[in-house]
């Protein structure tokens, strides 16, 4: 006997819901057009461009020193790698040689910034899943990192610290002592985060089976950073293509297993531990000497040519392609923004999930709209 559904003949319809751009947890001005059937997503269309400022175009009319200021505004929660990647590309064009102390300081700042960025992710992911308290704990620690940046370079968010040929200013002993104080304070906090969120059963049940990306799919969509490593693909620019002397330091690349939201989250939390390790190593082996290369032109005019540099930003493989035609400003600048490329997979991942999972997945991809739209 075949059973007929009690709902047979009932006319049902899907519902179109605008998630964003003013939604509280789209992390900026992302809009996702969701077609939902009950609570299940049948179609998701991310809509970006609300924060477009055209920095690639702006760079074409600015000198190389000025472009560093523009890069601060892409990924504004971790601006140091942005500065760094532009400087690396421009230095390649100009053939500058960077003093070892500047290199070590660059590594140190990028790792501190990675901690700050991942702390923001940790906090906002907690909020996305309804836990408000870890957010403020994370920000409490993040404030300390930002204080360190303020003490070192004067700004808390848009640093303009890493410059062509080196860094803006040297760090003092006072700063180094403060950084060590922070690191000592921060290590036990990471264990608390694990207790509060990582191994919280509610958190795990929310994230472990949700938003799984197979390794193959992740590679095909061009994901990078913790999103890729969460799927178990061991690709980290710091290891694969070392820059700024990352090869001298001892650190691990945390990998996930199943590529679920929890794995991506766990990769980031583990990366914070590795960043702490890296900071300690850099502080222990900080070489003396100049912090700025000699002979950096006030108005650099590199010879015609092209250069590509990429770094492991907090969100993934951040690359810059610079073309010079011998003028004072770049002929063309192209940014490989990891957030933008990571966001593309969203439309495929969301289908079939619940509305609550949209937030969990979106949060776990950890986009910054400043970098998506540039």
Partner 1 sequence: MTASGSGQAPPPKKVIPDPVFNEKNGRLLKDTRYWPTEVWANPWASPAYRRGAMLLIGIIGAIFATGWMIGELAPLGDTLYQLIASVASAGGLPQTATEATWIMIKALIILHVVLINGLWAVWWERKISAHIQSRVGPTYAGGFHGWAQTILDGIKLLLKEDITPAVADKWVHALAPAIVVVPVIIAFAPVSFGSQLAAADIDVGVLYIFAFAGISVIGVVMGGWASGNKYSLLGGLRATAQLVSYELPRGFSVVPVIMFSGSLDLSVIAHAQAGYWLGFIPKWFIFYPLVGQLAFIIFLIASVAETNRTPFDIPEAESELVSGFHTEYSGMKWSMFFLTEYGYVLLACFLLATFFLGGGAAPLPGLEIIPSWIWMLGKAMAMMFVFLWVRWTFPRFRADQLMDFNWKFLLPWSFANIAFAAAALLYLS
Partner 2 sequence: MIAYFRTVFTAAWALLQGMAITLKYLFKPSITIHYPTEKLVPYEKFRGALLFDAETCISCNLCVKACPSACIQLENATNPQTKKKIAKVDWYSIDFGKCNFCRLCEEVCPTKPKAVWHSLDYEVVFYTRDEMVRCWKAGINYIGKYWNRKEKIFKDPEGQISIQEVHSRR
The answer to whether 153 contacts partner 2 (rule: CB under 8 A) is: yes
Contact between 187 and 269 (Cβ < 8 Å): no
The answer to whether 202 contacts partner 2 (rule: CB under 8 A) is: yes
Q: Least distance to partner 1 from the beta carbon of 363, Å?
A: 8
Residue showing tokens 């937030």:
359
Q: Least distance to partner 1 from the beta carbon of 61, Å?
A: 37
Q: Where are the alpha helices (DSSP H) in 95-166?
A: 100-128, 133-153
- Given partner 2, partner 1, none, residue 65, with its beta carbon under 5 to 8 Å by kind, binds partner 2
Which residues are 34's β-sheet partners? 17, 44
Q: Least distance to partner 1 from the beta carbon of 140, Å?
A: 6
Among 77, 89, 196, 358, binds partner 2 (CB under 8 A): 196
Q: Where are the alpha helices (DSSP H) in the chain?
A: 55-59, 64-71, 79-94, 100-128, 133-153, 173-193, 201-207, 215-220, 226-230, 237-240, 261-284, 338-343, 346-350, 355-365, 369-373
Rounded distance, CA 210 to CA 225, Å?
19
Q: Least distance to partner 1 from the beta carbon of 243, Å?
A: 32
The answer to whether 16 contacts partner 2 (rule: CB under 8 A) is: no
Q: Least distance to partner 1 from the beta carbon of 354, Å?
A: 6
Q: If DSSP codes are grouped into helix, strand and coil, which group holds residue 185?
A: helix
Q: If DSSP codes are grouped into helix, strand and coil, which group holds residue 33?
A: strand
What is the footprint of partner 2 within residues 293-322 (CB under 8 A)? Answer: 298-299
- Given partner 1, partner 2, none, residue 356, with its beta carbon under 5 to 8 Å by kind, binds partner 1
The answer to whether 151 contacts partner 2 (rule: CB under 8 A) is: yes
Rounded distance, CA 287 to CA 12, Å?
69
Among the residue ranges 2-10, 38-46, 66-74, 278-286, the one whose residues contact partner 2 (CB under 8 A): 66-74
Rounded distance, CA 158 to CA 70, Å?
9
- Residues lying near partner 1 in the complex (CB under 8 A) are found at 15, 17, 23-25, 39, 126-133, 136-137, 140, 144, 147, 181-182, 185, 196-197, 200, 202-203, 205-206, 354-359
Rounded distance, CA 130 to CA 238, Å?
34
The answer to whether 110 contacts partner 2 (rule: CB under 8 A) is: no
Q: Least distance to partner 2 from the beta carbon of 109, Å?
A: 14
Among 51, 155, 283, 297, binds partner 2 (CB under 8 A): 155
Rounded distance, CA 330 to CA 326, Å?
8
If binding means CB under 8 A, how many residues of this protein chain bind partner 2?
Answer: 30
Q: Toward partner 1, which CB reaches closer, 205 or 304?
A: 205
Query: Long-range contacts of range 216-219, CB-CB < 8 Å, 24 or more positions apart?
Result: 217/345, 217/348, 218/259, 218/345
Distance of CA 288 to the CA centre of its chain: 30
Q: Least distance to partner 2 from the beta carbon of 196, Å?
A: 5
Among the residue ranges 2-10, 146-154, 249-257, 354-362, the one whose residues contact partner 2 (CB under 8 A): 146-154
Among 47, 150, 170, 306, binds partner 2 (CB under 8 A): 150
Q: Toward partner 2, which CB reaches closer, 281 or 329?
A: 329
Half-sphere exposure of 325 (CA within 13 A, CB side): 6
Among 25, 42, 56, 160, binds partner 2 (CB under 8 A): 160
- Given partner 1, partner 2, none, residue 294, with its beta carbon under 5 to 8 Å by kind, binds none
Q: Least distance to partner 2 from the beta carbon of 281, Å?
A: 25
DSSP string across 282-326: HHHT---S-SB-TT--SS--PPSEEEEEEEEETTEEEEEEEEE-S
Among 9, 201, 288, 295, binds partner 2 (CB under 8 A): 201
Contacts with partner 2 by CB under 8 A lie at 62, 65-67, 69-70, 72, 133, 137, 140, 147, 150-155, 158, 160, 168-169, 192, 195-196, 199-202, 298-299
């Amino acid at each position: 006997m075949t059973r007929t559904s009690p709902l047979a003949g009932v006319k049902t319809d899907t519902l179109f819901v605008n998630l964003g751009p003013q939604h509280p947890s789209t992390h900026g001005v992302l809009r996702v057009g969701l077609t939902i059937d009950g609570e299940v997503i049948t179609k998701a269309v991310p809509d970006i461009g609300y924060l477009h400022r055209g920095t690639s175009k702006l760079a074409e009319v600015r000198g190389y020193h000025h472009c560093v200021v523009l890069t601060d505004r892409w990924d504004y929660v971790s601006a140091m790698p942005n500065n760094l990647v532009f400087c690396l590309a421009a230095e390649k064009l100009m053939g500058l040689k960077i003093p070892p102390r500047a290199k070590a300081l660059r590594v140190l700042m990028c790792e501190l910034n990675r901690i700050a960025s991942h702390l923001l992710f940790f906090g906002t992911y907690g909020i996305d899943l309804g836990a408000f308290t870890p957010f403020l704990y994370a920000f409490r620690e993040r404030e300390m990192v930002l204080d360190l940046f303020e003490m070192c370079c004067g700004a808390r968010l848009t640093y303009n610290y890493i410059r062509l040929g080196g860094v803006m200013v040297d760090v003092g002993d006072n700063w180094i002592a403060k950084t060590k104080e922070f690191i000592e304070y921060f290590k036990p906090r990471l264990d608390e985060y694990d207790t509060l969120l990582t191994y919280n059963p509610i958190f795990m049940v929310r994230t472990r089976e949700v938003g799984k990306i197979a390794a193959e799919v992740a590679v095909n969509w061009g994901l990078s950073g913790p999103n890729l490593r969460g799927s178990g693909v061991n690709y980290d620019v710091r290891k694969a293509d070392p820059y700024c002397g990352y090869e001298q330091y001892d650190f691990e690349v945390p990998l996930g297993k199943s590529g679920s939201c929890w794995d991506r989250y766990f990769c980031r939390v583990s990366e914070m531990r590795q960043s702490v390790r890296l900071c300690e190593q850099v502080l222990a082996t900080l070489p003396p000497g100049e912090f700025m290369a000699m002979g950096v032109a006030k108005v650099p005019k590199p010879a015609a040519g092209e250069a590509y540099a990429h770094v492991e930003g907090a969100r993934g493989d951040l690359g810059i392609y610079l073309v010079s035609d011998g003028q004072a400003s770049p002929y063309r600048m192209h940014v490989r923004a990891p957030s933008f490329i990571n966001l593309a997979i969203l439309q495929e991942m969301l289908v079939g999930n619940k509305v609550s999972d949209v937030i969990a997945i979106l949060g776990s991809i950890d986009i910054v709209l400043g970098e998506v739209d540039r």
